[in-house]
C-alpha cells in the first residue's frame, strides 16, 4: 500500500520540502501509521518516537505501563494509605521529552 499524503503542511527549519516528504513516507512504511496526523507532531518528533519506541508497542501491556516507562505517570509512593512526599525517580527519556515539547507547542 502506498503511503498517504500528509494531512497538514510539514515544515522544518532543518529540511527542505522534498526531504520532509521522503521522511514522512519512510515513517509511514516503517510504523504503518501517520504520526504526523496528530496536531503538533511533525516529522522530527515522529522520528524521535520511532527511534526510541519502535513500531511494536506490544511490550507495554497497557497505556499505564507505557506512561510509566516514559516517566510521565505520577509517582505511586504510598505508605499506610497516604502518598509520601517527594517525586519519583528522575527518568530521562528522549521520547518523553519529545512528547512534552509537542504538548507545550499545543
Give the C-alpha separation, 7 to 13, whole Å: 19
pLDDT at 1 over 60: no
> Can you say whether residue 89 is alpha, beta or left, with left for phi > 0 and alpha for psi between -120 and 50 degrees?
beta
pLDDT value of residue 88 = 65
The domains of the chain are located at: 17-76+86-105
Give the C-alpha separation, 25 to 71, whole Å: 30
Give the C-alpha separation, 2 to 13, whole Å: 27
What does the pLDDT average to over 45-71?
A: 90
Average pLDDT, the chain: 82
What pTM value is reported for the model? 0.72
| 85 or 98: which leads in pLDDT | 98
User: How would residue 62 be classed by pLDDT, with cut points 50, 70 and 90?
Assistant: very high
Torsion 27-31-37-43 (CA) sign: negative
pLDDT at 94 over 80: yes
Give the C-alpha separation, 35 to 41, whole Å: 7
pLDDT at 17 over 60: yes
Amino acid at each position: 500500500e502506498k503511503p498517504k499524503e500528509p494531512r497538514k503542511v510539514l515544515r522544518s527549519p532543518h529540511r527542505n520540502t522534498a526531504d520532509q516528504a521522503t521522511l514522512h513516507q519512510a515513517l509511514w512504511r516503517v510504523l504503518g501509521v501517520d504520526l504526523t496526523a496528530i496536531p503538533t507532531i511533525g516529522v522530527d518528533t515522529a522520528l524521535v518516537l520511532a527511534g526510541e519506541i519502535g513500531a511494536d508497542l506490544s511490550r507495554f501491556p497497557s497505556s499505564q505501563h507505557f506512561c510509566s516507562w516514559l516517566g510521565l505517570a505520577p509517582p505511586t509512593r504510598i505508605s499506610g494509605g497516604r502518598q509520601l512526599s517527594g517525586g519519583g525517580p528522575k527518568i530521562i527519556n528522549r521520547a518523553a521529552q519529545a512528547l512534552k515539547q509537542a504538548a507545550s507547542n499545543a
